[in-house]
Amino acid sequence: MNFSIYDFTSFNQWIDKFLNDNLNPFWAVVVELTIIGLVVLLFYALVGLFLVYAERKVCAFMQNRVGPNRVGPYGIFQTIADLFKLLMKELIHIKSADTFLFNIAPFIVIIASFMAIAAIPFAKGLHAIDFDIGILYVIAVSSLGVVGVLLAGWSSNNKYSLIGAMRSGAQIVSYELSVGLSLLTIIVLAGTMQFSQIVEGQANGWFLFKGHIPAFVAFVIFLIASTAETNRGPFDLAEAESELTAGFHTEYSGIKFAFFFLAEYMNMFIVASIAATVFLGGWMPFHVGGWEGFNRVMDFIPPLFWYFGKTAFIIFLMMWFKWTFPRLRIDQLLTLEWKYLLPINLVNILIMAFVVLMGWHF
Amino acid sequence: MKEVINLPVRNIEEEEYHINMGPQHPSTHGVLRLVVSLQGEIVKNLKPHCGYIHRGIEKMCEKDTYPQIIHLTDRMDYLSAHINNHAVCMLVEKALEIDVPERVQYIRTIVDELNRIASHQLWWCSFGMDLGGLTCFFYGLRDREKILDIFEESFGSRLLHSYYTPGGLMMDIHKDFQKNVKDFIKYFRKKIKDYDRILTGNIIMHERTRGVGFLSKEDAISYGVTGPSGRASGFACDVRKHHPYGVYEKADFKEILLPEGDTFARYMVRMHEMRESMKIIEQLIDNIPAGDYSAKMKAVIKLPAGEYFQRVEAARGELGVYVVSDGNKTPLRMKFRSPNFSNLGVLDHISRGCKIADLVAIGASLDYVIPDIDR
Amino acid sequence: MDNATLKERILGLVPEAEFQENKQFLMFVVPPSAMHELSFALKHEADLAFDFLFCLSGVDMVKYLEVVYHLESTTHKHQLVLKVRTADRENAAVDTVCDIWRTAEFHEREAYDLLGIRFNNHPDLRRIFLEEDWKGYPLRKDYVDEVNIVEL
Amino acid sequence: MNSFFKYFTDIFHAVKSLLTGMTVTGKYFFSPWEIVTQQYPENRKTLKMYDRFKGEVIMPHNAQNEHRCTGCGICETNCPNGSIEVIQNKIDMPDGKKKRIIDQHIYHLSMCAFCGLCIKTCPSNALAWGQEFEHAVFDRSKLTKILNKPGSSILKDIAE
């Protein structure tokens, strides 16, 4: 048995073999699923907490502030303190709310983001499920979250919430198109929807560079559209605190509010990791076709590091957007999608198909 | 036997969807309540409800002597406290026909303009924040802090100064005042470029504000919309130009007039005004004449019986003080024509047919301070 | 237009207007019945063109209640003050001018709220600062409120 | 064709304006020396208020525990909010006359509007601004202060 931080395949096989040796096959699968579930849950909570902290620090530095600095050194335990505060807060019962839907909405939101994590490859072999339609699955699952948002807005029986939820509905329906189409551009180039193969396909250069202009356009569109899809940055119309106080989660308190909050950050993490995987090679180190020595040096940096570095970069970009731009109006949001992003995207796919057909990519 | 219930026939088209914006709402800048009737996201009409922090300043003034009134005027439009003080002081000086020393006039003008810049900076913060750009808020406050530091050093407090007294000033300016003001102007000339880069030039901001909340010149005059909001509609209403006071006649500055009348014009007028104010200060700061910081005043100030009116250009528009005196040391009636109160009246007119997001932008561009509306 | 000709002009419009001495403004006391008509003329006649009502205040002069209109013309730059008096404290009523100068709508509501001067034909005459069920008019000199007003 | 070009120039200008905005926030992100926040309770030692800062009204006493207040009550009449109460005492002078002196100068900080009229109008300059600004207390009654210290007396040359 030998495992390294460069390849987790043998480690996984070792666990699988160990369980199968000691248990009957059914229980081995159950134990494996439980382990994966627990690991993902733990990962989810940790990343969520870290992202909240990171966001607060990033925005603080952009605004000439220090940010959280009271709980622990440099305030690193601030979000944990916040979590405890939210856990202990009263869950306010809304009298005229649709109680069942009101309670179920935060879970729908959080489950949608939870499911998407399963398909994301973190490193070679560190991959919960490797679907052959991985991208399709992630797009399908991550857009389920809007159902939760709509239910939350509707069931709160609050006018601000309803307006926020309706805005969010309109927003996701339109921007889902751009997200899908921009990923489709890369699928045309990669020729597969399986995440592991997409990553492998970037062994001699990331798709962003291999697909040059059309890939770059698709990357920019994906960044914009995915920011919109996660209800963040200049597209946080569903929350829009200066207009709708807090939008769809106005009436939520305590841990239910924390679920929405956490789901927002996890969605951000998910779209960032999709962008990193599809455009920037996922865990694949920075390779240039033909430069063997250079590639060797790059290989020396562990894949997990590459993966989280790229994801953090995309997340930083999204935070940068959020803390710089004013918010769009709902009609401008839809104009941006239907008049600019969608037509450009369609043309871009054609160009990409042409490029692939003629073999003009690297 | 079942009872037959006659449900009223509901006409969805005619039903109004009311939203209470406020009294606690992030974008009303205080405790103002707007009852907004919506159709979808489109505002059909709105009714402002004010008075949540009505303190009866006009009634309190009837019990106070004139020097005591000064500290009440601080608390009306707290963002242009010096300018409010100036109005009352000038009114008393005019009624008593006192010649105020030249030095006092200069200091008052400079401090007024500093206050105007500070007020516009805070407006810029909240404008950016209302549009959703939270970072603007911190940049604006960061630079406003510099002015507040100058105020604190010279006058002892940051927001409610009570620095002017009838006939002069509470105390002379601090010895570092001139140097600090010049340093600030140098600093702010650099920083205001950031303001332009982050918000003025931003495409989202243009889209959000261009053509939104149009107010024609005729309506601006009829509704009495003064100050930067009125001047953005082309209404030449700058009291500093048309009824000069202080030493504004000695300073060379432009009255910013823009013809567009939309939210963006109201934004631009204020941005230009900050630069004009800096120009005024630069012209005056080195020429403060030596002299006394207060004229000789009697211990008890009694205004001769009669009526007096004084207009000044506050940061948000024209502030009028109307006093009816019966010869006592307290006024018989003191009325403040507050700029925000008149500006609020136009909100219903210009926000009809726009969206909720536009309503927030319009409200931010009118820049109301609720204590000034309620008084 | 200078104040002397303006005075003649106003007296020509409303002969029963009473001229008042004031250092700052040209000031007239106008009978309540003539106020609306005069306002209309002031706003719309080209040589007068008083289009900017920069202050409207209600005053309790103990003997009578008074509404003071401060007017300015943005084209001719002349100013004028009109006053309307009513001795009836119980049912003080004056014609509204908010159809002529829209800014009067809020200022008249304020005068109604704090001084109890009713404005005929006002589209929305409600209390503006105080609650609907407030008793009395606080800015009147005979207003007593032992709960809310603290005597120092 | 014109509108076709406009479509692309619009996009170009939009992206350019957005990037300009991002350079500003990006610049501040990477320049932590521009941070303006003060670490308040930690910097208490180095924090110095300006001389003229209006923290509270105080009555300066000298080393012999003497103040300058004659108890005339002008500050009380000038205070717009009634936050000063002057309680006077009558003492018998050696020559048989009665003389008013100050017993207690009560200052309600909770009602003070910091207008400075008491300090400005005081004929003997007995009052001044104090630089203390941490006024938060758990009990409102602690905000009522007696400005003349116990056992203090009036400065000789003021009394005459």
Give the range among A85-89, A358-362, B151-155, B159-163 with minimum mean pLDDT. Answer: A358-362
- What phi and psi values does residue B216 have, to the nearest 5 degrees? -80, 165
* pLDDT for the residue numbered B6: 65
Q: Which of C43, C44, C102, C151 to mutate to test the interface with B (most CBs of B within 10 A)?
A: C102
B356: pLDDT strictly greater than 70:
yes
Taking CA–CA distances from B51, the nearest residue in chain C reads C129
Q: Is A159 on the interface with B (CB under 8 A)?
A: yes
End-to-end CA gap in chain D: 96
For the segment C54-77, the average pLDDT, to the nearest whole number, is: 86
Helical segments of B132-262, H only: 134-155, 177-195, 203-209, 217-222, 227-231, 239-242
High-pLDDT (> 90) share of chain B, %: 0
Residues written for chain B: 375
Task: List the one residue out of B169, B148, B168, B167 whose CA is nearest residue B159.
Answer: B148
Task: List the one residue out of A214, A215, A245, A9 whose CA is nearest residue A121.
Answer: A9
Model confidence band, residue B12 (pLDDT cutoffs 50, 70, 90): low
B326, two tokens? 């019966």
The whole-angstrom separation of Cα A229 and Cα A222 is 10
A167, two tokens? 């805005």
A281, two tokens? 């090679």
Whether residues D78 and B67 touch (CB distance < 8 A) is answered with yes
Specify whether the CB–CB gap between D80 and B68 falls below 8 A: yes
Question: Could you give the 3-state DSSP secondary structure of residue D140?
Answer: helix
D101, two tokens? 């002196």
C151: pLDDT strictly greater than 70:
no
The whole-angstrom separation of Cα B75 and Cα B375 is 8
Angle at B162 between CA C60 and CA D77, to 5 degrees: 65
Model confidence band, residue B103 (pLDDT cutoffs 50, 70, 90): confident
CA quadruple C40, C43, C45, C50: dihedral positive or negative? positive
SS (H, E, C) A237-261: CCCCHHHHCCHHHCCCCHHHHHHHH
Report CA dihedral (B177, B180, B181, B183) to the nearest 10 degrees: 160
Q: Which of A163, A227, A327, A335 to mutate to test the interface with B (most CBs of B within 10 A)?
A: A327
pLDDT digits (tens, 9 = 90+) for D1-15: 788 888 888 888 888
B98, two tokens? 């006192």
> Does D contact B via 3+ CB–CB distances below 8 Å?
yes
Task: Nearest by CB to A234, from B198, B204, B356: name it.
Answer: B204
**CATH code, domain with C25:** 3.30.460.80
Please give the C-alpha separations between residue D71 and each of B300, C76, C101, in angstroms, as whole numbers.
Answer: 20, 58, 55
A55: buried, middle or exposed (CB in 10 Å: 19+, 13-18, 0-12)? buried
Enumerate the residues of chain D whose CB falls inside 8 A of the CB of residue A324: 18, 21-22, 24-25
The whole-angstrom separation of Cα B81 and Cα B75 is 7
Q: Is B290 on the interface with D (CB under 8 A)?
A: no
A289: pLDDT strictly greater than 70:
no
Q: Is A162 on the interface with B (CB under 8 A)?
A: no
Distance from CA of D3 to the nearest CA of B (A): 18
D93: pLDDT strictly greater than 80:
no
Whether residues B154 and D116 touch (CB distance < 8 A) is answered with no
pLDDT digits (tens, 9 = 90+) for B40-53: 788 888 888 888 88
Distance from CA of D32 to the nearest CA of A (A): 7
A200: buried, middle or exposed (CB in 10 Å: 19+, 13-18, 0-12)? middle
Whether residues A326 and B131 touch (CB distance < 8 A) is answered with yes
Question: Could you give the 3-state DSSP secondary structure of residue B39?
Answer: strand
Task: Nearest by CB to B224, from C52, C57, C81: name it.
Answer: C52
Angle at D146 between CA D141 and CA D152, to 5 degrees: 155
Task: List the one residue out of C67, D65, A296 whose CA is nearest residue B335.
Answer: C67
- What phi and psi values does residue C29 have, to the nearest 5 degrees? -105, 120
CATH class of B17-374: mainly alpha
The whole-angstrom separation of Cα B262 and Cα A259 is 41
Mean pLDDT over each residue of chain A, to the nearest integer: 83
* pLDDT for the residue numbered D44: 84
For the segment B10-36, the average pLDDT, to the nearest whole number, is: 77
B1: pLDDT strictly greater than 60:
no
Q: Is B152 on the interface with D (CB under 8 A)?
A: yes
Q: Which of D15, D16, D29, D40 to mutate to test the interface with A (most CBs of A within 10 A)?
A: D29
Whether residues D52 and B64 touch (CB distance < 8 A) is answered with no
Residues 30-69 of B with CB under 8 A from D: 64, 67-68
Whether residues D24 and B198 touch (CB distance < 8 A) is answered with yes
Model confidence band, residue A92 (pLDDT cutoffs 50, 70, 90): confident
B189, two tokens? 């000339």
Rg (CA), chain C: 16
> Does A contact C via 3+ CB–CB distances below 8 Å?
no
Question: Which residues 6+ apart lie within 8 Å of B312 measured at CB?
Answer: B83, B84, B86, B87, B90, B239, B245, B318, B319
Whether residues B157 and D18 touch (CB distance < 8 A) is answered with no
- Strand D66-67 and strand D153-154: pairing? parallel
For the segment D52-74, the average pLDDT, to the nearest whole number, is: 83
Residues 20-39 of D with CB under 8 A from B: 20-21, 23-25, 36
For the segment D144-153, the average pLDDT, to the nearest whole number, is: 80
Task: Name subunits touching A (3+ CB pairs < 8 A).
Answer: B, D
Give me the amino acid identity at C68.
Answer: V
Distance from CA of D37 to the nearest CA of B (A): 9
D45-159: which CATH architecture? 2-Layer Sandwich (3.30)
Q: Is B333 on the interface with C (CB under 8 A)?
A: yes
* pLDDT for the residue numbered D159: 61
Distance from CA of B348 to the nearest CA of A (A): 17
Specify whether the CB–CB gap between B114 and B188 falls below 8 A: no
A264: pLDDT strictly greater than 70:
yes
Q: Is A325 on the interface with D (CB under 8 A)?
A: yes
D16 vs A240 pLDDT, higher one: D16
pLDDT digits (tens, 9 = 90+) for B244-277: 888 888 888 888 888 888 889 989 998 898 888 8
Model confidence band, residue D110 (pLDDT cutoffs 50, 70, 90): confident
D29: pLDDT strictly greater than 80:
yes
> Which run of H or of E encompasses A48?
helix A25-62
For the segment D54-70, the average pLDDT, to the nearest whole number, is: 83
Q: In total, how many domains does chain C have? A: 1
Task: Nearest by CB to B41, from A62, A163, A234: name it.
Answer: A163
Whether residues B142 and A64 touch (CB distance < 8 A) is answered with yes
B249, two tokens? 């006649």
pLDDT digits (tens, 9 = 90+) for B137-161: 888 888 888 888 888 888 888 888 8
Mean pLDDT over each residue of chain D, to the nearest integer: 82
Please give the C-alpha separations between residue A107 and each of A45, A151, A257, A291, D1, in angstroms, as whole numbers.
Answer: 15, 11, 11, 48, 51
The whole-angstrom separation of Cα A148 and Cα A146 is 5
The whole-angstrom separation of Cα D88 and Cα D101 is 6
Residue C83's domain spans which residues?
Answer: 3-87
Whether residues C55 and B307 touch (CB distance < 8 A) is answered with no
A139: pLDDT strictly greater than 70:
yes
Question: Could you give the 3-state DSSP secondary structure of residue A109?
Answer: helix
pLDDT digits (tens, 9 = 90+) for B170-226: 888 888 888 888 898 999 888 888 888 888 888 888 888 888 888 888 888 888 888
Mean pLDDT over each residue of chain B, to the nearest integer: 85
CA atoms lying within 13 Å on the CB side of residue C40: 7
Q: Is B72 on the interface with D (CB under 8 A)?
A: yes
Task: List the one residue out of B12, C76, B18, D10 whose CA is nearest residue A336.
Answer: D10
D146: pLDDT strictly greater than 60:
yes
The whole-angstrom separation of Cα B361 and Cα B263 is 7
Q: Which of C56, C103, C148 to mutate to test the interface with B (most CBs of B within 10 A)?
A: C103
* pLDDT for the residue numbered A10: 76
For the segment A300-311, the average pLDDT, to the nearest whole number, is: 82
Question: Could you give the 3-state DSSP secondary structure of residue D11?
Answer: helix
Task: Nearest by CB to A234, from B17, B132, B357: name it.
Answer: B132
Distance from CA of A324 to the nearest CA of B (A): 6
* pLDDT for the residue numbered A302: 79
Whether residues D52 and B162 touch (CB distance < 8 A) is answered with no
* pLDDT for the residue numbered A120: 82
Enumerate the residues of chain A whose CB falls inside 8 A of the CB of residue B204: 234, 325-328, 332
Highest mean pLDDT among A10-14, C20-24, D90-94, D104-108: D104-108
Model confidence band, residue B5 (pLDDT cutoffs 50, 70, 90): low
Q: What ipTM describes this predicted complex?
A: 0.85
Task: Nearest by CB to C51, from B50, B221, B322: name it.
Answer: B221
C119, part of any domain: no
Model confidence band, residue D111 (pLDDT cutoffs 50, 70, 90): confident
Q: Counting one residue from B and one from D, how many pairs have CB atoms under 8 Å apart?
A: 67
C122, part of any domain: no
- Strand D66-67 and strand D84-92: pairing? unpaired
Rg (CA), chain A: 21
The whole-angstrom separation of Cα C147 and Cα D65 is 43
Whether residues D11 and A65 touch (CB distance < 8 A) is answered with no
Q: Is D11 on the interface with A (CB under 8 A)?
A: yes
Q: Is B339 on the interface with C (CB under 8 A)?
A: no
D30-66 burial, b at 16+ Cβ within 10 Å, e below that, comes to eeeeebeeeeeeeeeeeeebbebbbbbbbbebeeeeb
pLDDT digits (tens, 9 = 90+) for A150-203: 888 888 888 888 888 888 888 888 888 888 888 888 888 888 888 888 887 777
Task: Nearest by CB to D28, from A64, A321, A325: name it.
Answer: A64
Enumerate the residues of chain D whose CB falls inside 8 A of the CB of residue B68: 78, 80, 115, 117
- Strand D98-108 and strand D128-130: pairing? unpaired
The whole-angstrom separation of Cα B368 and Cα B317 is 10
Q: Which of A58, A66, A217 to mutate to test the interface with D (most CBs of D within 10 A)?
A: A66
Specify whether the CB–CB gap between A189 and A209 falls below 8 A: no
Residues 345-364 of B with CB under 8 A from C: 345-346, 349
The full set of domain ranges for chain B reads 17-374
C136, part of any domain: no
Specify whether the CB–CB gap between A233 and A327 falls below 8 A: no
Task: Nearest by CB to D21, from B152, B157, B202: name it.
Answer: B202
Report CA dihedral (B298, B304, B309, B313) to the nearest 10 degrees: -10
The full set of domain ranges for chain A reads 8-88, 96-358
* pLDDT for the residue numbered C122: 84
pLDDT digits (tens, 9 = 90+) for B323-353: 988 888 888 888 888 888 888 888 888 888 8
High-pLDDT (> 90) share of chain A, %: 0
Q: Which of B170, B176, B205, B206 to mutate to test the interface with D (most CBs of D within 10 A)?
A: B170
Question: Could you give the 3-state DSSP secondary structure of residue A16?
Answer: helix
The model's pTM is: 0.87
For the segment B100-125, the average pLDDT, to the nearest whole number, is: 89
Q: Counting one residue from B and one from C, how many pairs have CB atoms under 8 Å apart?
A: 89
* pLDDT for the residue numbered D160: 60
Question: Which residues 6+ apart lie within 8 Å of D121 measured at CB?
Answer: B299, D74, D75, D78
